[in-house]
Amino acid sequence: MIRGIVFDFDGLILETEGPDYRSWRELYEGYGCALPLERWAGLIGTAEHGFDPYAELEAQLGRPLDRAEVRSRRRARYAELVAEEQVLPGVLDYISDARRLGLRLGVASSSSREWVVGHLESLGLLACFDALACRGDAPRTKPDPGLYLRVLEVLDVRPEEAIALEDSPNGVAAAKAAGLFCVAVPNDLTRDLPLSGADICLGSLATLPLPQLLERVRWAPTTGANG
């Protein structure tokens, strides 16, 4: 029996990942350099990575940069792009249906609590969630299962009683390692990344309402089948 739904945040509730990559790509292009998606992809959904975009840009240029100035410009552009985004399709319906059905709701995110709480507050969604687990609430971020295990602990829900909604390979790996049924909902940035570890893959949450998903989960074997 499903008792809880755990949302990723970036790229699942709000499309922040595309703007993040776009702001860096534009920055690189401004210096006549390139940042291919395959170089960036490993950063999506995790803080556990070894790629340093500042060092990479400096390596391509062959000289050091004023990182504080570059950071300021890049973050300003990122904030500008994120401000244009709205809650992704189907998210509000999932939240509404989950509350109506008496399900517990959580967020497991590799981003900082300040980032997640700030956006959820501005979207008017913070009060909808019973638990948040963000970077710093577990020893490691995704793909480690710690964030999922932490949010389940707060929700008082067992892994087999919860569904994870994810958009990235790192997120899917974390959810499955924690023992949850995982629904992958890729965005434009993650659509071509490997998500076969998920139990179900949807083009959008709007394509499969929560009551139908719950019925499907009831019968679906957790073997990583797309649908």
**How many other C-beta atoms are found inside a 10 Å radius of the C-beta of residue 197?**
18
Is 188 an annotated catalytic residue? Answer: no
Give residue 138's region: left, alpha or beta (phi > 0; psi -120 to 50): beta
Q: How far apart are the first and last CA of the chain?
A: 21
CA-based nearest residue to 13, from 204, 170, 196, 179? 204
CA distance 114 to 136: 11
Is 97 an annotated catalytic residue? Answer: no
Strands (E), the chain: 4-7, 104-112, 131-135, 162-166, 181-184, 200-201
Strand partners, 183: 165, 200
| Identified catalytic residue from 8, 144, 167, 199 | 8
| Identified catalytic residue from 10, 20, 144, 199 | 10
CA-based nearest residue to 227, from 191, 201, 204? 201
Strand partners, 165: 7, 183
Extract the tokens encoding 68: 């504080």
CA distance 170 to 154: 22
Q: Which residues are catalytic?
A: 8, 10
